[in-house]
Amino acid sequence: MSDDLFKLNVDGKDIEVPRHYTLMQACEEAGAEIPRFCYHERLSVAGNCRMCLVEWEGAPKPIASCAQTVGDMRPNRDGSAPNIRTKGAYVEKARNGVMEFLLINHPLDCPICDQGGECDLQDQAMAYGRAGSRYDENKRAVEDKNMGPLVKTIMTRCIQCTRCVRFAAEVAGVEELGMISRGENAEITTYLEKSLTSELSGNVIDLCPVGALTSKPYAFNARPWELRKTSSIDVMDAMGASIRVDAKGDGVMRILPEVNEEINEEWLSDKSRFVWDGLARQRLDKPYVRENGKLRPASWGEAFAAVKAALSVPADKVGVVAGDLVEVEQAKAALDLFRSLGIQSTDCRPAGAQYGTDGVRERYILNGTLAGVEDADALLLIGTNPRVEAAVWNARIRKAWLWADLKVGRIGEAADLTYDHAWLGDGASALADVRSSDFGKVLAEAERPMIVVGEGALCGEDGAAVLAKALELAQEVGAVKDGWAGFGVLHNAAGRVGALDVGFVPGEGGGTTADILSGTMDTVVLLGADELDLSRLGSANVIYVGSHGDAGAARADIILPSAAYTEMSATYVNTEGRVQMTSRAVQPKGEAREGWAIFRALSDVMGKTLSYDTADALRAELRGPDGESTVFSGLGFAPGAMGVEALKAPVSGASGSLSTATFRPVFDDFYMTNPIARASKTMAECSALASALDTPVAAE
């Protein structure tokens, strides 16, 4: 037996496992089933529930397998491997007793509990519980706690497993949950009964095994067996987290995370989880045309005729802006049509970020990958606040800081990231002084440093110079070397990288978003672009293609309704360059169509018929001819260090000095970043609460 392996006998089966394994992991390696409530593989060990008891032959009492490390176990007196039993009358009696104890105060309210059908306590009570309880005293009652608009509490159901407490402290980084009192009086509560402030608070719902914490917006809406479950991806940020969309009839009932170790592990941000009610509100379900200053419903034929008239102007007087949620298929079809019409003023960077025009993909994706931060030993964040721009990734950074001693530095507005970091300044000028700072020495001495630039650093006039300087710094400190590409851009919009990949940037002689919105255009086309200042458009005809009646639709003269991300199978590319696809969970609302289909039909009207007439044909064109590899050739693959050679090349054409201006935040309100979120009542409640918490209170 090697030094790093330990031999055990589990239920008569000899196994060898690493010495750092817990006894629970060892038993499961042997094929045994171990019940648990408090144990979770991504949280520290608590050993609270005792449901995982097993028999260690020779031990005076049953052993909590979650808290016993196999390397600390002793062999038998004759030197043979310890004997472990996970079955039998002894273990069964122990687990029966634990289950009876856990159910002493738990109410028998399964018929009205939203956890019903998905409850670990129900399942394990059936498998390991007694036929009846010997407890005939009064059950205790615990007052429900106010945890805000997202988490509903029925604390009498709580069995004090402390999963939620450990998640808040270890993963979310906000120590706002804890246990008070002891024994029968023990209860979980928030600090001074205030609302949870974490952007990840909804994950405690998934972690709770007994229904003490459930989803407040979802309460009493549906039962799990009534729902159609569709695996998809999230588009509320640029991470592309794996999600499951649960639908009933033509409506989305809830959104849950799915496990994806490379992206979101098993967590999901509150915005991604609870934005679903916004999918049904303020929807555009039919075309509209403005007449006499008012929008009126129209047929698709009337709307296309109006669009044709609006586009019958000189090509240099037409501008197109793609928004944050645009899918690859729509961006590709729109770009093909507008290029065929000679229109060069196309842009997918509504905030004005300066990247993506030099044809080097590695300079606008996160080459180090989301999971790669766990391999880094130093991280420099430039003009980004990952807590609000990529909340789940921020939790991964915290994990690396907490367990792997990751050193973090940041340039940008001061912010609480939930982990300690060195603040180096608030603007581009600080970038020039990084090498001479204390953190610069940390970067230089690090074996695998990582430098991440946010969009907030690239939207100023010196955006190109900032990107060039950051890449130069990465080359100098060894963040770019064979086998390690620790440089990249952290995007905040799901549609950005995909649109850049298809070339949705100004063509030869074309204008940027700022030029398009300057009032010089006769016609402006907005592809779900709502985060814009449209006040300078003057008398320009505005064509809006989108799913929600937001700022763009309010200014539009022609509205073409499109499907939302839960209503179509569409391609997105996340911030690390990983190609992903959504799946249709419900049908588009009313007469809405998928974005690419709108432009395919419009191309017929314009006399510039596109070469593809199905989504599959369009995707085949994106993938390129057989044998020719493009960025869309495969799904689910992040290039990572494959792009290191491109990063080693010097940046040309990025002239200009670094300004003294402060890097501005990408958005002011985490909960109100796109039309779907702004249509959500739940997000509005969260936004109002967050604003109230940020309001300073005068001292008494």
567, β-bridge pairs: none
- Provide the pLDDT for residue 662: 86
Q: Give per-residue pLDDT as tens, 75-84.
A: 888 888 999 9
- For 546, the enclosing helix (H) or strand (E) is strand 541-546
Q: Which residues of 232-249 are buried (b: 16+ CB within 10 A; e: fewer)?
A: bbbbbbbbbbbbbbbbee
> CA nearest 632: which of 579, 567, 672?
579
Both structure tokens of 111: 């018929």
Average pLDDT along the chain:
93
Percent over 90 (pLDDT), the chain = 81
The answer, yes or no, to whether residue 573 has pLDDT greater than 70, is yes
Compute φ and ψ for 545, nearest 5 degrees: -115, 115
DSSP-derived 3-state class of residue 100: helix
Both structure tokens of 59: 């031990």
Q: Give per-residue pLDDT as tens, 167-219.
A: 999 999 998 899 998 888 889 988 766 778 899 999 999 999 999 999 999 99
- Provide the pLDDT for residue 579: 96
pTM higher than 0.85, yes or no? yes
Both structure tokens of 310: 């609006």
Who contacts 484 (Cβ-Cβ below 8 Å, separation ≥6)? 448, 478, 641, 644
CA angle 433, 439, 444 (to 5 degrees): 90
Q: For residue 626, what pLDDT band results from cuts at 50, 70 and 90?
A: confident
H-state helical runs in 138-281: 163-166, 203-207, 270-274
The answer, yes or no, to whether residue 697 has pLDDT greater than 60, is no
Compute φ and ψ for 118, nearest 5 degrees: -130, 25
The answer, yes or no, to whether residue 409 has pLDDT greater than 90, is yes
Burial class (CB in 10 A: 0-12, 13-18, 19+), 251: middle
- For 615, the enclosing helix (H) or strand (E) is helix 615-623
- Provide the pLDDT for residue 696: 47
**Number of residues that this document lists for the chain:** 700
Rounded Cα distance between 490 and 471, Å, is 14
- Section 118-134 average pLDDT: 89
CB atoms within 10 A of CB 442: 19
Rounded Cα distance between 575 and 371, Å, is 12
Rounded Cα distance between 498 and 334, Å, is 13
Rounded Cα distance between 653 and 655, Å, is 6
Instruction: Give, as one character, the DSSP assignment of residue 670.
Output: T
Both structure tokens of 687: 């936004």
| CB 150 within 8 Å of CB 217 | yes
Q: For residue 324, what pLDDT band results from cuts at 50, 70 and 90?
A: very high
481, β-bridge pairs: 484
| CB 605 within 8 Å of CB 626 | no
> CA nearest 493: which of 438, 439, 454?
454
Residue with tokens 């199978």: 569
Q: Which residues of 590-620 are buried (b: 16+ CB within 10 A; e: fewer)?
A: eebbbbbbbbbbbbebbeeebebeebeebbe
Rounded Cα distance between 624 and 632, Å, is 8
The answer, yes or no, to whether residue 700 has pLDDT greater than 70, is no
- Provide the pLDDT for residue 208: 96
- Provide the pLDDT for residue 70: 93
Both structure tokens of 294: 């008012």
Rounded Cα distance between 396 and 173, Å, is 11
Percent over 70 (pLDDT), the chain = 97
- Provide the pLDDT for residue 1: 44
> CA nearest 328: which of 560, 546, 503?
503
Q: Give per-residue pLDDT as tens, 585-619.
A: 999 999 999 999 999 999 999 999 999 999 999 99
Compute φ and ψ for 556, nearest 5 degrees: -70, 150
Q: Which residues of 514-541 are buried (b: 16+ CB within 10 A; e: fewer)?
A: eebbeebbbbbbbbbbbbbebeebeebb
289, β-bridge pairs: 296, 558
First to last CA, the chain: 68
Q: For residue 698, what pLDDT band results from cuts at 50, 70 and 90?
A: very low
- Provide the pLDDT for residue 627: 61
14, β-bridge pairs: 9
Q: Give per-residue pLDDT as tens, 418-471.
A: 999 999 999 888 998 899 999 999 999 999 999 999 999 999 888 899 999 999
Both structure tokens of 495: 């549609």
The answer, yes or no, to whether residue 264 has pLDDT greater than 60, is yes
Q: For residue 654, what pLDDT band results from cuts at 50, 70 and 90?
A: low
Who contacts 195 (Cβ-Cβ below 8 Å, separation ≥6)? 146, 147, 148, 149, 689, 693
Q: Give per-residue pLDDT as tens, 344-400.
A: 999 999 999 999 998 899 999 999 999 999 999 999 999 999 999 999 999 999 999
Burial class (CB in 10 A: 0-12, 13-18, 19+), 137: exposed
CA angle 381, 384, 388 (to 5 degrees): 125
DSSP-derived 3-state class of residue 522: coil
Rounded Cα distance between 492 and 670, Å, is 11
User: What is the DSSP code string of 451-479?
Assistant: EEEEGGGTSSTTHHHHHHHHHHHHHHHTS
Rounded Cα distance between 174 and 395, Å, is 11
Q: 345-347 and 5-10: which strand pairing?
A: unpaired
| CB 409 within 8 Å of CB 439 | yes
> CA nearest 667: which of 350, 200, 303, 279?
350
**Hey, what amino acid is at 15?**
I
Rounded Cα distance between 696 and 700, Å, is 12
| CB 52 within 8 Å of CB 9 | no
